[in-house]
Structure 1
Amino acid sequence: MTRVLILAAGEGTRLRPLTNDKPKCMVPLLGTSLIERQISCLKRHGIKDIHIATGYRADQIETLGYPTSYNKRYNKTNMVSTLFCALDFINQEGDLIIAYGDIVYNDENLETLLACDDDIALMIDKKWRDLWSLRLENPLDDAETLVMNEQGFVTELGKKPENYDRIQGQYTGLIKISASKIKELVKFYQQLDRNGLFDGKDFDNMYMTSFLQALIDAGWQAKAAIVNNGWLEIDSVDDLEEYESMAKQGKLEQFYQA
């Protein structure tokens, strides 16, 4: 059995004014909200055990009718803190998919992730520069390091790259944790130094990539579930406008089948 926890607590400040009165995950892409697009994809693959970790404008997400957990400190913490606000759901039985609330993806991308049975699977886009080149004048400005070994396991991610040599793909915000590792995952998080720094951030504000790197450094095997496009990240108004313009021109399907 596979369960999904969607992280949707953020305010989405770069999507204002669209997020003045709604959470980021409820912003529409071509008329359908990001989170509803994700949920439709999950349901097509028989995944119905869906839980949403909320924060900003949680009331709107609650209208969707799915179980939720609320991060009451959403405006003072980062995504890892939001993740573990849903501890009761995390501790339930079955493999666990963790999904960012501001992404959408094709069915085949989800299928690639589901096919991985390692401790951790991370959806990694090998053709990330195609998408980043549309969004940014210099793709390197917004990219992060992603290094894999010969067996296809991620050894480094989330750092600021100096060049393209240490970017073998981009982490996309979709994770699968094996059911057999859930208890160990929770224990690992609970034993982290609350007074430590994680890539320059305090415990409450560590990035998800920093948490994943800590797991990898501790010996966890994080397999890269390789995809070639087939997903979108919606981080700003410019992103949204670019995608909708591409859709009108019939050019979006290379990246996402809306």
Structure 2
Amino acid sequence: MKSIIIGAGRGISNGSVVDYHKTLYKDIIGRRVLDWILNSFKESGITDTVFIGGFQLEKIMEFYPSLRYYTNNSWDTTNILSTLMCASEELDSDVVVSYSDITFRPNIIKSLIASKDDITILIDSKWRNRYVGRTGEDLQKSEKVIVKNGYVSNISKNIPVTSLVSGEFIGLCKIKANVANEIRKIYTTLLENYQKD
């Protein structure tokens, strides 16, 4: 089992200037977001971690030289799937995929590893009230998920904020090797067809 951290996006804004990457943000005891993520992986038995970056990737590489890195050179114009596909060769085994700006405990990763499903995503069912001061605009921009009979029927930022929403995708999932390989094939085919037009 390996982990892939998607961290190509822009950093935290200080006024109008984006000055540092979100994953390097420190808590009150001085631990960076990436420290929390890597510790949870390690405590769960995952020691092979890939980081896909773009914005300020050199700073992350400086602090974490032991990680394996891939670069999304088009990070400012592409999406999360495009970033993941920058490391498509890594999708050859079961993989836990994480956003780079979230924190979670090891037991969450252990529950993902134990899942037998082809794709397992984690959602926050208390998403409406999880954060102090969260606005209606924040809720609308969140990655909302609708679950029916234990399976995801819809996941999108474009889902209206209604009682039908089961929760918010927290940016953490597990993809089994067979499905990861299919995702890679489909993405490659679509990209080739799109580039021909």
TM-score by length of 2: 0.86
The structural deviation recorded for 1:58 is 1.1
Q: Secondary structure at the match of 2:103?
A: strand
The structural deviation recorded for 1:194 is 6.6
Matched residue, 1:77: 78
User: CA–CA distance in 1 between the matches of 2:177 and 2:166?
Assistant: 28
User: CA–CA distance in 2 between the matches of 1:98 and 1:38?
Assistant: 11
Matched residue, 1:105: 104
Matched residue, 1:16: 13
Q: Is the 8 A contact 1:126 1:168 kept in 2?
A: yes
Give the gaps of 5 or more residues in structure 2: none
Residue correspondence of structure 1 range 84-163 to structure 2 within 5 A? 84-91=85-92, 94-132=93-131, 134-138=132-136, 140-150=139-149, 152-163=150-161
User: CA–CA distance in 1 between the matches of 2:160 and 2:21?
Assistant: 33
Identity of aligned residues (%): 27
Q: Is the 8 A contact 2:143 2:155 kept in 1?
A: yes
Q: Secondary structure at the match of 1:10?
A: coil
Over the aligned positions, Cα root-mean-square deviation in angstroms equals: 2.2
Identify the range of structure 1 (22-31 vs 65-74) with the bigger mean alpha-carbon deviation.
22-31
Whichever residue aligns with residue 192 of structure 1, its letter is L
Matched residue, 1:182: 180
Q: What number of residue pairs does the alignment pair up?
A: 189
Residue correspondence of structure 1 range 166-205 to structure 2 within 5 A? 166-192=164-190
User: CA–CA distance in 2 between the matches of 1:184 and 1:24?
Assistant: 31
User: CA–CA distance in 2 between the matches of 1:170 and 1:83?
Assistant: 20
Q: Residues 143, 71 of structure 1: CA spacing in aligned structure 2 closer, same or farther, 3 A cutoff?
A: closer
Whichever residue aligns with residue 176 of structure 1, its letter is K
Q: Is the 8 A contact 1:3 1:48 kept in 2?
A: yes
Equivalent of residue 163 in structure 2, options 162, 165, 169: 165
